[in-house]
Amino acid sequence: MDESLHDGHRQRLRERFLAEGIDSFQPHEVLEFLLFFGIPRKDTNELAHQLIRTFGSLSEVLDAPYEELRRIKGMTAGAAVLLKTIPAAGRAYLLDRHAAPLVMDSPKALGEYFVDRFFGETAELVWLLCLDSSLNVIACEQVARGTVTVAQAPARKIAELTLRHNSSRVVLAHNHPRGMAIPSNEDIISTRCLCACLRGIEIELVDHIIVAGRDYVSLRNRYPSALE
């Protein structure tokens, strides 16, 4: 594609985005459009197709590690960073929209809160939500980051964070990036152990939320004995 045709194609795609939004784009067109901003003045159509062929889908491209993106012929460092920014920016956007003071007084409120916090994450993470006695949010901190299948939540670190924030009630949450929002036996056992540990320092473990995509489960609802 010569330079004038290429510039015209980019302009037409920009105008289409502004007129119709991204929903009318095919997956490769979304990538092609994004790559405009990471690879200036070059045709990004074939690279977009190659990314889809290599990783399988738009979401898999955006979830791919930086190092794997860089292995694709034609992928620049700037373009790879740009693609990795998209899920992170989406997560920041969702969290900012819900930045107003929150009261975590139901499993539904907790589930919706953590679904946004895990948006776009491909590794298993563990978060601790610290609440006051009225279930208002004091702080939310990451306590562990694992592989796509395993994350360990150190009880000592959880206790230290809880005391640092002068919190009387806490909620644990972790994600299943490649699975379903179904608690494993390990999840239930570790929740029971943590609950007992925190009870010893007069801290209540209110719930343990497990998130997979836009789905979530509350152990308080599903397995209440784990928090007794």
Q: What is the pTM of this model?
A: 0.73
User: How far apart are alpha carbons 132 and 139 in whole angstroms?
Assistant: 10
Return d(Cα 226, Cα 193) in angstroms, integer: 8
- Which residues contact residue 49 at a Cβ distance below 8 angstroms, ignoring those fewer than 6 apart? 28
Q: For the chain, what is the mean pLDDT? A: 88
Q: What is the pLDDT of residues 103-119, one digit of tens each?
A: 888 999 999 999 989 99
Provide the pLDDT confidence category of residue 29 given band limits of 50, 70 and 90.
very high
Highest mean pLDDT among 36-45, 76-85, 172-181: 76-85
Mean pLDDT of 151-167: 86
| pLDDT tens-digit readout, 63-109 | 999 999 999 999 999 999 999 999 999 888 887 776 655 788 899 99
pLDDT at 3 over 70: no
CA separation for the pair 189, 211 (Å, rounded): 18
- Judge whether 78 and 179 are in contact, CB under 8 Å: no
The pLDDT score that the predictor gives to residue 1 is: 47
